[in-house]
Amino acid sequence: MKRAALYIFLVLSTFTVYSQSSSMDSLRYLIDHTTIDTSRIDLSIKLAHELTYNNKTESKRLIEECINESKKIGYQAGIADALYEKFVTYAMEGQFETSLKFLNESSKIYQQIGNTIGYANCVRGQGNVYYYIDDLAKAQSYYEDALKIYKKANHYKGMASCISNLGLVCLNLKKNDKALEYQLEGLKLEEKIGNKRGMAISHSSIADVFIELKKYPEAKKHALKSIFYSKLIADSSTISSGRLQLADCYRLMGQSDSAQFYITESINTCEKNDDFHRLAISLEYQIQLYDSLRNYYNAYKTSKRLIIAKDSIFNKDRSSHLVEMQTKFETEKKEKENLLLLSRNFKQSIILWGLLIFVALICFISLQIFISRKKIRTSLENLLILHQEVNQQKEEIETQAESLISANEAIIAQRDHIENTHQKISDSIIYASFIQAAMLPSEEVLNTISSEIFILYKPRDIVSGDFYWFKEKNGNYFLAVADCTGHGVPGALLSMMGISFLNDIVANSTTFKTSDILEELRHNVKLALGQFLNNSLRKDGIEIGLIAYNPEDKTISFSGAYLSLWLSRNGTLKEYKSDRMSIGISLKESPFTQVELDIIEGDTIYMFTDGYADQLGGQTRKKFLRRNLIQEFLRISQRPLCEQKDYLENLHQSWKGDKSEQIDDILVLGIKF
């Protein structure tokens, strides 16, 4: 199964000729209060399009009404639009031969009335069908033809659709770099026009490319964004796809518990919506996870559920043929009645002989009944005794069953409460990650210091306790790398507080001394955490390295709290040590020191938190260690920084392995002057 087949027909139906500016309730209201026939038909087609995702039966009924009404008033555009929507509905059900018939009819009408965009949609639709049946060459040809038409008409929504689909073709042809290029281009167009469903599908497509490239953190990030936008438009199909992508990432990273969570979420959603097609896909992912864990018994049980789901799909599709079968049955019935008239005499003879044989059998059976009668009486007495015993046991079992049912209902209620609570917490943390990411400086902002800079930033959980910070004031650039106590939500909260304090300190201060900035930061953190009390037990704090770079003088001022600065120059690596004090309460507190150093062209500086060096891995499952990381900096210091980042990231993944989990947040910063 092609990975992209999970949402190819979502792409097909997303970029039709209709907008999605109205909800279904508002559409129904407008339909009821519109007196113009053509306007009412257009609104009804929009409503049918929205119902495609929730109620296909109602969507089909509404489309047929639109076709009939359009024919009555000679509204050709309405006929073409309704036929195109009918093509989408049948294509999403896998009835490609039938769907293409409606697509061809729609295409002819669009050409007759001169609707260029409608015709381009039909060309793209043919490409989607060929894509799904694995004829990638024809699919690519149709996508490219449609893209030319969209570009000529400056139709951004259609352009985004075709570019995304070309990316899917490249992905299935193993041209991963080209696929990523297409999908990123399509995402920019979707964001430009504000198409939330398109953005959700583009992020999902990008996640698939990163999975193929084995870049699972990037894949997770885009899968989460896909889920976020899908929830905004209540698109359960794309939500399910995003969850399956997250499950795939966690499975490939060896995090089976997280993979199981998202597979279960997808299965529950599909069962709730009676989405048997996507349920079958989710069950296939479940089987794949069980196989990877060698849990063959549960894999077998899940395969039985998969068979039931596929049978449900078959029964659902088969119902559309019942009317045709009924017509054939009536025709055959009349033919059989004629045959019955011809064979009536022959049957009468058979009945006569049958009666004679029946009488003989009755006599034989009566004799057998007489002989067995005594045996039956004896058996009946024994059965009465057994019946009394069975009734007594039945009453006992019913009493036990009632107790079990009550206990089971209580357990189910507790389970549902826990699942709902967990979902709310997960959704909140995911949204918090977007807020935290927005507060971190972008690569474009950091490039104001130097054109060569890299940041290796890998949160252990969805949100991180590590952060990096940047501020420019009066021609001086301030840059910090920090590690807050803990990780996940507690660390993230402390990091947000640290970023806020740094922004306020630099904005309101006239000093450019890094030591003074850290002193003020320590004071604010201790005050916020209540650490001025003598009996305070709060040991939370921040380890940080802070530099102030003056580009005119080519000088750097550095101060650190448990986080040193490393300078690479002419093949050597020198450490500028930090103070052995935390930003927070410490046993021995003294003023922070400041180091001044001159920078020459070609110098590279590094700052990093302890997450990279503390990662467990290798054959002995030990820490990577700080000294080994320093040796790696020395080894790669002459390479371009973009290569250094890729090297460090690949080295971390190799050391950790696919079956181990990341134990802490990771942050490594490098700048070349």
| 3-state SS assignment for residue 349 | helix
Binned at pLDDT 50, 70 and 90, residue 111 comes out as: very high
For 394-441, write each residue's pLDDT tens digit: 777 777 877 778 778 888 888 888 778 778 777 778 877 788 888 899
The DSSP line for 581-631 is: --BS--SS--PPP-EEEE--TT-EEEEE-STTTT-EETTTTEE--HHHHHH
CATH code of the domain made up of 1-194: 1.25.40.10
Range from 23-32, 144-153, 282-291 that averages highest in pLDDT = 144-153
CATH code of the domain made up of 437-672: 3.60.40.10
CATH 1.25.40.10 domain span(s) along the chain = 1-194
Overall residue count recorded for the chain in this entry: 673
For 145-160, write each residue's pLDDT tens digit: 999 999 999 998 899 9
Beta-bridged to residue 454, according to DSSP, are 670
Task: Please give the average per-residue pLDDT across 361-376, as a whole number.
Answer: 79
Alpha helices in 319-441 (DSSP H): 322-342, 344-439
For 434-489, write each residue's pLDDT tens digit: 888 888 998 889 999 988 999 999 999 888 999 999 999 988 999 999 999 877 78
Find the farthest-apart pair of alpha carbons in the chain and give their distance in angstroms, rounded. Answer: 123
The confidence score (pLDDT) of residue 347 equals 66
Give the chain's radius of gyration (CA, Å): 35
The DSSP line for 46-75 is: HHHHHHTTT-HHHHHHHHHHHHHHHHHHT-
The confidence score (pLDDT) of residue 346 equals 64
Tell whether the model's pLDDT for residue 278 goes beyond 70.
Answer: yes
Q: Which one has a higher pLDDT value, 575 or 331?
A: 575
Distance, CA of 15 to CA of 285 (rounded, Å): 28
Q: CA neighbours within 13 Å on the CB side: how many for 108? A: 6
Lowest-pLDDT range of 410-414, 518-522, 640-644: 410-414
Structure tokens at 635: 């080894």
Task: Please give the average per-residue pLDDT across 111-122, as a whole number.
Answer: 93
Tell whether the model's pLDDT for residue 14 goes beyond 60.
Answer: no
For 594-637, write each residue's pLDDT tens digit: 999 999 999 999 999 999 999 999 888 899 999 999 999 999 99
Structure tokens at 411: 């357990």
Q: CA neighbours within 13 Å on the CB side: how many for 294? A: 0
Q: Is there a contact between 465 and 494 (Cβ–Cβ < 8 Å)?
A: yes
Tell whether the model's pLDDT for residue 13 goes beyond 50.
Answer: no
Distance, CA of 238 to CA of 244 (rounded, Å): 10
For 52-85, write each residue's pLDDT tens digit: 766 788 888 999 999 999 999 999 999 999 999 9
pTM of the entire predicted model: 0.43
List the beta strands (DSSP E) in 379-528.
Answer: 452-458, 466-473, 476-484
Give the rounded distance of the alpha carbon of 664 from its chain centre. 24
The confidence score (pLDDT) of residue 247 equals 86
Tell whether the model's pLDDT for residue 109 goes beyond 50.
Answer: yes
The confidence score (pLDDT) of residue 540 equals 78
Rounded to the nearest 10°, the torsion over CA 316, 319, 321, 324 is 180
CATH 3.60.40.10 domain span(s) along the chain = 437-672
The confidence score (pLDDT) of residue 313 equals 56
Work out the mean pLDDT of the chain and round it to a whole number.
84
Residue 46, classified by CB atoms within 10 Å of its CB into exposed (0-12), middle (13-18) or buried (19+), is: buried
Lowest-pLDDT range of 56-60, 234-238, 412-416, 583-587: 234-238
Tell whether the model's pLDDT for residue 320 goes beyond 50.
Answer: no
Q: How many percent of the chain have pLDDT more than 70?
A: 88
For 170-191, write each residue's pLDDT tens digit: 988 889 899 889 989 999 988 8
Task: Please give the average per-residue pLDDT across 205-229, as a whole number.
Answer: 90
Binned at pLDDT 50, 70 and 90, residue 343 comes out as: low
